[in-house]
Amino acid sequence: MLSIIQINTFFLVFVSCCPDTLIEVSDNVCMLELEGEHPYCVGHFHCQEKGRELGLRLFMVGRNADKLPTFFHNDNGIHTGLHSLLLDVDSRTTGFQVTDPRNVAHFPESDKQQLFTEAPVFGRERIVEWRTSGFQNVLQNENKRNVVCELSYIDSPEKLRTERFEKSWPQLIRPMFMGRTGSQGCWFTTSEQTLLFCGLKCHQHPYCRSFYYNEAIKKCRQALYIDSRLPFEASREAGTWIRFGRRY
């Protein structure tokens, strides 16, 4: 006769490393889909503001864009932080640049080939969006798409007491201007008396990727969210532009 019955019950508990408002799409990769649909640069801005609201550093999903089809579904498309607004996409040397902090360039070539249903366009400034047919590289536009933000674990750079800006980060940019494609980048432009003041403005903005300064006209252009060359129209302005990149 049995006098003792022992039953062992095991519970598997999955603990996410993500804040409550974000979902874990991979190990230590946390994302959040914003409400509504937004134009490209506005979408970047809303990731910034949502992060500020939550006390987090958020950016438009870039290097981990391949997770979008599995976790987020939207017939109207989703913006991504993959782009070629700074460096042309060349299958021999470079891939798309990304919005991920400290990872401006380059998106791995092998990953690029797996993502796209069509070949990237060389020599044209492009952004990348997810559509139901796959990832597509298109000219920058004002189309409204859904936006997915990713959590960064890297401290925001404006908290540093000192910061280094480099002319050659991620490399010397030649030419410094975009072509006549209509792509613009995302900019914040001010009038500053010196190059140093322009650099200070960039340092104080958590999403400034690089800055351009024109001494002759005292104009300071900050490339926000995505690092890019100057829009074509800037080539018509008097004076000479100098660029400094930020490791972000």
Q: Strands across the sheet with 78-83, in order?
A: 78-83, 126-131, 134-139
Instruction: Domain 160-246: give its CATH architecture.
Output: 3-Layer(bba) Sandwich (3.50)
Residue position matching structure tokens 């908290």: 159
Q: Could you tell me which of 71, 141, 145, 66 has the C-alpha nearest to residue 107? A: 66
Q: Could you tell me which of 184, 191, 183, 186 has the C-alpha nearest to residue 225? A: 186
Q: For position 114, what pLDDT does the model report? A: 53
**How many residues are there in the chain?**
248
Q: For position 12, what pLDDT does the model report? A: 44
String of b and e for 126-150 (b: at least 16 CB within 10 Å)?
bbbbbeeeebbbbebeeebbbbbbb
Q: For position 105, what pLDDT does the model report? A: 57
CB neighbourhood size of 63 (10 A): 19
Q: Is 184 left (phi over 0), alpha (psi -120 to 50) or beta?
A: alpha
CATH 3.50.4 positions along the chain are 160-246
CATH 3.10.100.10 positions along the chain are 24-151
The encoded tokens of residue 82 equal 């993959």
Distance separating alpha carbons of residues 217 and 239, to the nearest angstrom: 7
Superfamily for domain range 24-151? Mannose-Binding Protein A, subunit A (3.10.100.10)
Sequence-distant (6+) residues with CB within 8 A of 92 are none
Residues forming beta bridges with residue 187, ordered by sequence position: 223
Residues in the chain with pLDDT values less than 50:
1-14, 92, 109-113
